[in-house]
Each structure stands twice: as C-alpha cells, then as structure tokens.
Chains A and B, each alone.
Chain A
Amino acid sequence: MDNQMKRGLLDVCVLAAIRNEESYGYQIIKDVKPFISISESTLYPILRRLEDSGMMNEHSVEHNGRLRKYYHITKPGIRRLEEFTEEWKEIMAIYEFVNGRMARAAIDERVQERIPGKEENYEQV
C-alpha cells in the first residue's frame, strides 16, 4: 500500500478505535491490528500527530498502581471520521468504475483468444 495512504488510514483507524469510548495504547493496537499492520513504533507518532492537530487529547488514569494514558476523541476528530466515510463513498464509486472496466477487459481478452482458435478450426474443416 502507498505509504501516504497508509498513514492516512492509520490515523482514521486510531480515531475509530477511540470513537465510541476512550482507550489506551495497547488496546488501540489490538483493535486496529486485524485491519492494518500497526506496532508501538507506528502508533506513537500517530498519537502525537493526532494530538497536535487537536483530533484527540490524552489524560492519565491510575491503573493497578501505575499511570495509563487514555486517549479521548474530540469534535475535530469526529469530523475527520465523518469526512473519511464521505470521501470513501466517492472512492468506492471510482473502484466500481475501475473494477468494471477491468472485468470488461478480461472478458474481451478471453473472447479475442477464442476467436483465432475458432478460425483455425474452420480452416481445418
């Protein structure tokens, strides 16, 4: 996948992971991993980026005698997710278009392969 695209998708996945309730780093990784490869070293810069752009904020909560950072989505973050789903409707339409043309090309090729074969058959006859 294109790096720039992956970066954008990762941002959106992390925002989606904290969309309905705030969450912490390890939980985010576990939630997002089934969909896109993510590790601590990828997550940390994303969290910094999202926080700097005001899409989420963090706060510390005491957990088992230590502090755990919880991330909380903000209004701009929610807006970003809404934009994402809107954008992807367009992208899905483009996908349908591209995929349709590709399928058509594949059929045409198959047909083209067959016809010369047939002609040969005719000649033999």
Chain B
Amino acid sequence: MNRYEFLAALSAKLSDLSPSDQRRVTDFYSEMIDDRIEEGLTEEEAIESFGDPETDAREMLEELRRSGRLEIKADEPAEKIEEAEKNGESAASYTGLSEEAINEAIKNIRPEEPVPVPSGADVAGRTRRKLVPALILIFAGIGIAIILTMLAVRVTGMTLSFFPWINRTDNHTIDRKISSLKVEVSSADVFVTDSGSDMVTVKVPRGAKSRYTISFEGETLIIRSSYSPVMHLLPFAGSGNVEIGLPAKASAASYVLDSGSIETSSGDISVSGEILVKDTLSLWTSSGDIRIAGDNLASAVSGKLSIRTSSGDVRLDDIMAKNLEIRTSSGDVSSSESRVSDLDISTSSGEIDFSEAKLASPGLERFVIKSTSGDVKMELMKIPYIQTNTISGDERVEPSSASEGASDRYVISTTSGDITVRSRK
C-alpha cells in the first residue's frame, strides 16, 4: 500500500467527519509518514507500521465521539463493519461506499498536482498580516504612554519612579579585603561613610541615566559608570547616588584604606563617619560640592588629602590630614576644627574661610594660600610670621608673636581679595 492508497482508505472510513476534519486527519497521518521516512524507513515500511487503516479510523471515531467531537449517529459504523465482515463483503461495500466513492476520495487526496505545501513566504505573509497591526498598536501605546509621562513630569516637576526598572538601587556587600578605592562616575552623587560593620558595602543606582559596574583589581575596588543612551532619553530617570560603606576603624592604628580616589563630573562628594586613609585620598568633581564631616576628628588622612572642584564649594569639618591640597576655581572653601600640618589652597574667585578651623601654628608647619579675587580669612592659635602679598586687597593681619624673621613657610597672596588673619582668643 502506498501513501495515497492508505490515506484514501483512512479517509473513506472517516465519512462521519466533516471534509475539513477528514483533511486534518489525513494531514496528520501524512506528517507521520514523512517523519518515519525521514528516520530512514521506506514509504511502504512507514505505512506498514500503522497497521490497518480501517482499525485506526474506527478507533479515532470512537474516541472523538466519546470526547464530544462528533455527534452520535444512529448507525454505528463499527457495527456496520462487523456486520459486513460477517457477510464476507468487500472493503468497498462494508464501508458503505461505492467503488466510485473510494476513487473519488483517492482523487481528493491525490490531486493532479502534489499536495500543496505552503511556501515559507506564504507562512511569513500570514504571520506578517497578524503582526503588523499588533506592532502598530504596541508602538502607538508606548508613544502615548511616553507623551503622558513627559507631560506629567513637566507639570509636576517631580522625579517619577513608577516604572519598576527605573531609579532603583543595587546593594552589594563585598566579602573581600579592600585596601584601595577608585570611583569614576559621571553624574551621580558619591557618599562615603562607615558601614557600621567590618564589611565594605556598595550601593549603586540601577535604571538611572548611567550604567554602573563594580570590579576589582587586586585589593582595589573600582566603581565606574558608563553612558546609557536609552536611559538618557527617559526624562524621569535620575542620576542616583553611589554609596560606599567602609568598615569603621577598629583602632587608631589600623587604616581602613591605603588610598582612595573619587571622581564625579557633576555630582557631589560627601565623606562622613570614621574613615582612615593611609596614603592619599583624592576627591575630584567638576561642578559638585565636596564635603567631609569627620565626627570629632574621627576622619583622618595620614598622607595627602587632595580636593578639586571647579564651581562647587568645599566644606571640611573635623578632619585630620598631614597634607591638605584644595583647588577650586569659583567655589568657596571653609573649614571648622581641622588638624592639618601642610595646607595648600588655590582658588580664583572663591572665598577661603578658615576662621573657625582652630589651626594651631605648632601643628601647622606650612601653608600656601593663593586667591585671585576671593577673600581669605584665617584664625590661628598662635600667629607665626606670615608673608602676605596683595595688589588691591585690604590686609588685616595681627602682628606676629614669633620672634623669628622672614620665612616663606607661611604665605598668603591675593590679587584683589582681602586678607584677614586673627589670633584665636
């Protein structure tokens, strides 16, 4: 029996089914034949593996009938077949079909042309017809949502975070020794504080305007941000904060970090708590403010503390540093209660106010303060000999109590800024 004879015999037995359902069954069997041929059987062998088409058709009809796929007909074909078999009639007669009907069925299944298989293009075309309106709807929906959101942001002026993937925070606890810290981010504010435990913790924004990565190089913890073009388009994605928790100092002898460098282009930098740095701590931002708030002189840099900002202000409270270097162009610099042995400050238009710094001259071994148009105010425990230079500014410097003569250890120079130095009463 070949494929078409088998399918015709099967189809002939399925006359209780609608023509489209019959077609479905023959398609199903045809696929099964092809799959077997693909596995290495010949067509003949594939068909033999099915057994008798009449039995298959009868089983299927019974089962379809049982599951309500077919209405029960008064004359059960199964009974008819049995009856016919008893009478020893031919296959054609016990199906209740004439030879012509079987030939007709064969013709239906085996048309002149091979069974048309829709080409890939047809299938793709059908899918496209469904896909195109769906895509148009989706894009229209997204467009309307974006417009409404932008309007809402415009009107209320607030940072919205109703999208679950926007303006979130990723928390990391770093379970390894960190001796050095390197932060290079674009717009985020950076906060460094003590974590309250002996672990290093890092919080970086997720779904913000930039993407953040945390990596390690030896014992160096590196936090970087990269430009995220998609998120930059979203008006409600914020810049977010980077928060670094360093282990609180266990004793004055143990350093939390060997060195640290934090750079942000437009964000603020804030350092607070008990942070001990052995070598260098650099805090650089172009337009952000920088603030260090040690708690009761708890933060200390035993090497160099380097602070740079172009337009931001610098505020230092309760800090200790051997070498303090501050560069600003228009930002103000102010400090309270600081222990510094070597002070180097340059600003062009910013005001330098160390009047509350309680700088003690025995501890303060050297200072060089330069300003173009900004005023300089200092208050010292004991006034050393100070070399002051100004072109148009006023000088109000208390006379030195030191007996020694000229020295360039203490220098204040301005172009137009006033210089005020008082002794602390």
Contacts and interface: CB of A to CB of B under 8 A. Distances in A.
Interface of A: 24-27, 39-42, 44-49, 52, 60, 62, 64-69
Nearest to B30: A66
Contact of A40 (B32, B117, B119): B32
Which among A45, A46, A66 has the greatest number of chain B C-beta atoms within 10 A? Answer: A45
Contacts of B59: 41-42
Given A24-B31, A66-B117, A52 B69 contact: yes
A41 B28 CA distance: 10
A26 B31 contact: yes
Contacts of A64: 34, 38
A69 B56 contact: no
B50 interface: yes
A45 B32 contact: no
Interface of B: 25, 27-29, 31-32, 34-36, 38, 50-51, 55-57, 59-60, 63-64, 67, 69, 117-120, 123
22 contacts: A24-B35, A25-B32, A26-B31, A27-B35, A40-B32, A40-B50, A41-B56, A41-B57, A41-B60, A44-B28, A48-B69, A49-B69, A52-B67, A60-B118, A60-B123, A62-B117, A62-B118, A64-B38, A65-B117, A67-B117, A67-B123, A69-B27
B18 to A, nearest CB: 13
Nearest to A47: B28
Contact of B35 (A26, A48, A52): A26
A48 B31 contact: no
B60 A67 contact: no
A67 B122 CA distance: 12
A62 B31 contact: no
B31 A44 contact: no
B28 A25 contact: yes
Contacts, number: 67
Given A27-B35, A41-B63, A67-B31, 11 more contacts: A25-B31, A26-B31, A40-B28, A41-B57, A41-B60, A45-B69, A62-B117, A62-B123, A66-B34, A67-B118, A67-B123
A42 B67 CA distance: 12
B63 A42 contact: yes
Contacts of A67: 31, 117-118, 123
A121 to B, nearest CB: 60
Contacts of B29: 40
B36 A26 contact: yes
B13 to A, nearest CB: 11
B50 A48 contact: no
A48 B56 contact: no
Contacts of A42: 59, 63
Given A40-B56, A60-B123, A49 B67 contact: yes
B25 A44 contact: yes
Contacts of A66: 31, 34, 117
Contact of A48 (B32, B34, B51, B67): B67
Contacts of A69: 27-28, 31
Contacts of A27: 35
A45 B67 contact: yes
A35 to B, nearest CB: 19
Contacts of A39: 50-51, 56
A27 B34 CA distance: 12
B146 to A, nearest CB: 31
A40 B56 CA distance: 8
A62 B120 contact: yes
Contacts of A48: 64, 67, 69
Contacts of B32: 25-26, 40
A65 B36 CA distance: 15
